[in-house]
Amino acid sequence: MDPLNPPVAFHFSVMFVGGTPAVPDMAFQEVSGLESGLETEALVEGGENRFVHQLPKPLKQGNLKLKRGMTTTDSGLVKWCKATIENDLAKPIEPKDITVSLLNEERDPVAVWSIGNAYPVKWTVGGFDAMKNELAVETIELAYTTLKRKT
């Protein structure tokens, strides 16, 4: 990757690893939530008034949000979301691994993120407005345990 020419953010792909849904399931208009960070806990030491110790807590991940035009069929991704969100935890959750790739103009990956043990936690359908000429959009929010940048 050329440091003087940063990649564009509109050319990306999302792939579900293992049990890959059909191709239309991987077409997303927006991906967000690739975040990971350390939180700290303040610890005051008795007799030490010049500063407060900042101790690290376990790593915290964000939620991956995938936004796309709503589909009218029960695709593989829709079935997985329904099975996870609507099952009242009667069945075990089936997490999936996901790869998000930022692509260059030749469709070669310039940055790749590996998301581990992801499962749907929220499924939102955007608002409907008779005064607008827009597509119906759904947002799928996934919790995950690991996020690693490969390149």
Domain count, the chain: 1
Rounded distance between C-alpha atoms, residue 151 and residue 142, angstroms: 22
pLDDT classification of 146: cutoffs 50, 70, 90: very high
Runs of H (alpha helix) within 2-149: 76-85
- The mean-pLDDT minimum among 14-18, 53-57, 137-141 falls in 14-18
Residue 6 lies in a domain: no
- What's the pLDDT score for residue 20? 54
Residue 1 lies in a domain: no
Burial of 120 from C-beta contacts in 10 A (0-12 / 13-18 / 19+): buried
Q: What is the pTM of this model?
A: 0.84
| pLDDT digits 0-9 by tens, 31-50 | 999 999 999 999 999 988 89
CATH number (domain holding residue 32): 2.30.110
Q: What range does the domain containing 121 cover?
A: 12-149
Tokens of 93: 């959750």
Residue 132 lies in a domain: yes
Residue 73 lies in a domain: yes
Sequence-ordered strand ranges (E) for 70-108:
96-103
Rounded distance between C-alpha atoms, residue 19 and residue 9, angstroms: 27
Residue 54 lies in a domain: yes
Residue 44 lies in a domain: yes
- What's the pLDDT score for residue 23? 54
- What's the pLDDT score for residue 33? 96
